[in-house]
Amino acid sequence: MHELGILMMSILLREAGYQVEFLGPDIPLDDLVEYAAEANTHMVILSATTREAAEELTRFRHKLERLKKPPLFGFGGGAYAYFPEMIAATPGIFLGKTLTDSVGTVKTCFQPG
């Protein structure tokens, strides 16, 4: 489990004025889809550290798209540094190579509040 990066991202987004709910590592993705629907989530951000996890994010995105009001889907993590071809293969918004880039990308998607 590599949760340090996404935890740091959560803290930076909170400092930037966004309401963030950090749900922890390894949450079942079907549960996350259900949660996103019930909580009227504006954006879901996930991190992948392996190629297999990055491939799973593609399947997750397709599940999100089935929602009545699908949230934006942002992704990042070490898998995309090791396998940059996965960036184009993963549907959604690649947040960037660094935490600073990622927070900036979220800011371009919508204003906090």
Domain count, the chain: 1
Question: Which segments of 1-113 does DSSP mark as H helices, in order?
Answer: 4-15, 29-38, 51-65, 78-82, 85-89, 99-109
pLDDT at residue 71 in the model: 95
The larger pLDDT score, comparing residue 88 to residue 110, is at: 88
Asked, for residue 109, whether it belongs to a domain, the answer is: no
- Residue range of the domain that includes 96: 4-104
Whole-angstrom Cα distance, residue 90 to residue 29? Answer: 16
Q: What are phi and psi of 67, to 5 degrees?
A: -70, 155
Which CATH number covers residue 37? 3.40.50.280
Asked, for residue 70, whether it belongs to a domain, the answer is: yes
Question: CB atoms < 10 A from the CB of 5, how many?
Answer: 16
User: Any idea which residue has 């800011």 for tokens?
Assistant: 107
Asked, for residue 111, whether it belongs to a domain, the answer is: no
Give pLDDT tens digits for 6-49.
889 999 999 999 999 988 888 899 999 999 999 989 999 999 99
Asked, for residue 112, whether it belongs to a domain, the answer is: no
Give pLDDT tens digits for 47-65.
999 999 999 998 999 999 9
Asked, for residue 38, whether it belongs to a domain, the answer is: yes
